[in-house]
Structure 1
Amino acid sequence: MCVSRCLRCVGMSLVAMAMVCILSNILLMFPDLNIHFLLDGHVTIQAIWATGVWGSGFLVCTLDTGYICYKNTTCCWCQMKTRTSLLGAFICCIFSVTGLVQGPLCLYNSTSGQIWGVPLSHWTYLYNRTVWSGICLEPRNVVQWNMVLFSVMGAVSGLQIVLCAANMLNSMLGMILGHGSCRTKVCVSVFCVCEDREGS
């Protein structure tokens, strides 16, 4: 079995980042740590789609073994897992940015009374702290809640995209330059090279 220590570190880092995205998305579905907002449908669609759970979460977690080159693992399999993880992280990043720009779903005062909606529908609210606590009545501190968690998800999924894309690009270059192919047991990474050795 051929195991590269630095590739294992990259894989474990991606798993840790996936756990952060999963936890952040779960918290987004329970603003004010109260389940009744979710049951009543008062949670933004970006949180309901749970891209942090299945996109930057479980899909990226499956890539952990892709960064550890086993004896019977081909580079084609590693690249397929990398592409899947890259797609999941990309979707999560897009949904996180959209949720951050759109603002939270909350109860606020309108001309027709108190209604549920998205009153902060323009990204400029991110720089105007005076509206953070003055517009949304429920859930409490939902603006800060969404800002922090969507920002964390967006940043982490963005880092996942960089790591997955760099690995995929370098693997493709390695195959083109002859350092690895789908018929060999050599996997080339941007971080280090792990190759099969007899008797290991």
Structure 2
Amino acid sequence: MCSGGFAKCLGISLMPLAIVCVLCNILLFFPGGKSVESGHITQQVWYFGGILGSGVLMIFPALVFLGLKNNDCCGCCGNESCGRRFAMLSSILFAAVGVVGAGYSVIVSAVAINHGPQCLVRFNDTYEQWSYPFSNGDYLSNTTAWSKICLEPAGVVSWHLSLFSVLLVMGLIQMALCAVQVVNGLLGCLCGDCCGGSDGA
């Protein structure tokens, strides 16, 4: 497969991943599927890892990758393939942007999973307060304590873990796809659009 066609496949793969990440980040603003005050939303949600990192910053490389197959730049210095080679080289820069964006989302998600959600907690059976009861990160294996410790919103821990886990996995996949395009872009720049064939193929 030509490098331009392969880049298009990567772009097609990145688009739905970016949409899923944006939706996950939006859903995190409704912990447990419920509307709460902005001050009661987990802090890491406001870092917009899924919206900015794996979402907006991933749209640009995805669109660039999609357009590489149909790049018909007139070339330079009488060399028709020059434009295509330059396009493949520029795609490496956009792939790097994608890696940075996805990496940001992965870091935010990992921190959020380790930190746990913000929820309403009862202290010493005397008073209730919104806090982060799982901030030491040892709650993942103790699922029975989730509903006992977090009174509201109901199901907030599983909601938090599920969505941030999806963001983490999607971010890792996006990083891998963008890293693949870095290699593909280098090959396309060195060999032309099709290694072992004509550049115009």
Sort the TM-score into its range (normalised by shorter chain): 0.7 to 0.9
Q: Does 1:150 align with 2:151?
A: no
Displacement of 1:165 after TM fit? 1.4
Letter in 2 for 1:79: I
Q: How many residues align?
A: 184
Separation in structure 2 between the aligned mates of residue 167 and residue 194 of structure 1, nearest angstrom:
20
Q: Which has the larger radius of gyration?
A: 2
Q: Deviations over 1:15-38 (max 9, x none)?
A: 111111001000001113333333
Distance in 2, Cα, partners of 1:171 & 1:137: 51
- Cα-Cα RMSD: 2.6
Partner in structure 2 of residue 100 of structure 1: 113
- Change in Cα spacing, 1:171 to 1:76, as seen in structure 2 (3 Å) is closer
Query: What is the deviation of 1:164?
Result: 0.8
Describe how 1:76-87 pairs up with structure 2 within 5 A: 76-87=89-100
Identity %: 34
Indicate the residue corresponding to 2:27 in structure 1: 27
Higher helix share: 2
Q: Which residue of the partner structure matches residue 181 of structure 2?
A: 167
Work out whether 1:46 is the aligned partner of 2:59.
no
| 8 Å CA contact 2:114, 2:137 repeated in 1 | yes
Q: Name the stretch that deviates more: 98-107 or 61-70.
A: 61-70
Residues 169 and 116 of structure 1: CA distance in aligned 2, closer, same or farther (over 3 Å): same
Change (3 A) 1:109 1:146: same
Q: Deviations over 1:63-93 (max 9, x none)?
A: 1232231123622321121111110000000
Relative to structure 1, the CA distance from residue 195 to residue 155 in structure 2 (aligned partners, 3 Å threshold; closer, same or farther) is farther
Query: Is 1:114 equivalent to 2:112 in the alignment?
Result: no
* Counterpart Cα distance in 2 of 1:144 and 1:37: 19
Task: Please say if residues 31 and 159 of structure 2, whose CA atoms lie closer than 8 Å, have aligned partners that are also in contact.
Answer: yes
Compute the displacement of 1:45 (Å): 1.6
| Structure 1 residues 195 and 90, CA gap change in structure 2 (3 angstroms) | farther
Question: 1:4 Cα shift?
Answer: 4.6
Counterpart of 1:138 in 2: which secondary structure? coil
* Equivalent in the alignment of 2:78: none
Higher strand share: 1
Alignment check: 8 A CA contact 1:105 1:116 kept: yes
8 Å contact from structure 1 (residues 102, 123) kept in 2: yes
Q: Partners in 1 of 2:61 and 2:197 — Cα distance?
A: 16
Over 3 Å counting, the alpha-carbon distance change for 1:107 and 1:96 in structure 2 is: same
**CA drift at 1:141:** 0.6
Aligned-partner SS, 1:66? helix
2:81 aligns with none
Aligned residue in 2 for 1:36: 36
Counterpart residue identity of residue 137, structure 1: L
